[in-house]
Structure 1
Amino acid sequence: MSETANVWISSNLNSYGHIRCVVSHHCWLFLDLVTMADIPGGFTETRNATEEIQKICDQVTCQVEDKTKKKYVEFRAVKYRSQVVAGVNYLVKVNVGGCSYLHLKVFQNLPCYGGEIVLRGVQEDHHEEDPIVPF
């Protein structure tokens, strides 16, 4: 005998940030709210750079200078996005003096694999207002 499940989704969230669903009259189902940014494989929204992001940028400064054939007196992380993969990809907006910005793609391996930080790409000629998009 099959029973049809009636599903109702409340338009209100409970105090834990969950959606309450009724699956038939016998059980409740709580679903976590998830945005694309919270799903492994998706990039987060743009965030202000932290001390940790600056430390990551400091570790790839020489690689960036080699790739761009320039020396930077200023190299300050301003904004970033991250993507959880088998490690973490970072897209970072870096101020390199005045109104000049670079966009970096940096990969940080999982700690169990050494936590190595590797520069994967550099985009030059960006401005403060340019969005950080995957490249």
Structure 2
Amino acid sequence: MMCGGTSATQPATAETQAIADKVKSQLEEKENKKFPVFKALEFKSQLVAGKNYFIKVQVDEDDFVHIRVFESLPHENKPVALTSYQTNKGRHDELTYF
């Protein structure tokens, strides 16, 4: 993956799920609702001064959100942060930069 460009879409891993779980409460607060399901399905990543993750998350049987999470460089010692999200997505909606 080149710096600045996004990777190809990949199936979510345990690490991807852990990253999504860390920002679940941030998304619930912004949307003012609780999600009964929060399952990462696939992701792209982007190297910047840290790493952006674009993650497709299933939040209900037929409801999906795309989240962008920023992970800072290790020496900065900062928690991951939800930086953007898109609601009303479907299972087959492509993950794109947003």
- Aligned CA-pair RMSD: 0.8
1:65 to 2:28 alignment = yes
So what's the TM-score if we normalise by structure 1?
Answer: 0.71
Matches within 5 A, 1:1-135: 38-135=1-98
Secondary structure, counterpart of 1:56 in structure 2? helix
Letter in 1 for 2:37: E
Distance 1:61 1:39 in 2: 28
Structure 1, unpaired ranges of 5+: 1-37
* Residue-pair matches, total: 98
So what's the TM-score if we normalise by structure 2?
Answer: 0.97
1:49-89 residue CA offsets vs partner (Å, 9 max, x unmatched): 00001000110011000111110111000010000111000
Letter in 1 for 2:24: T
Secondary structure, counterpart of 1:55 in structure 2? helix
Larger relative contact order (CA 8 Å, sep ≥ 6)? 2
Distance 1:67 1:46 in 2: 26
Structure 2, unpaired ranges of 5+: none
The runs of at least 4 consecutive aligned structure 1 residues that moved more than 2 Å come to: none
Distance 1:134 1:48 in 2: 17
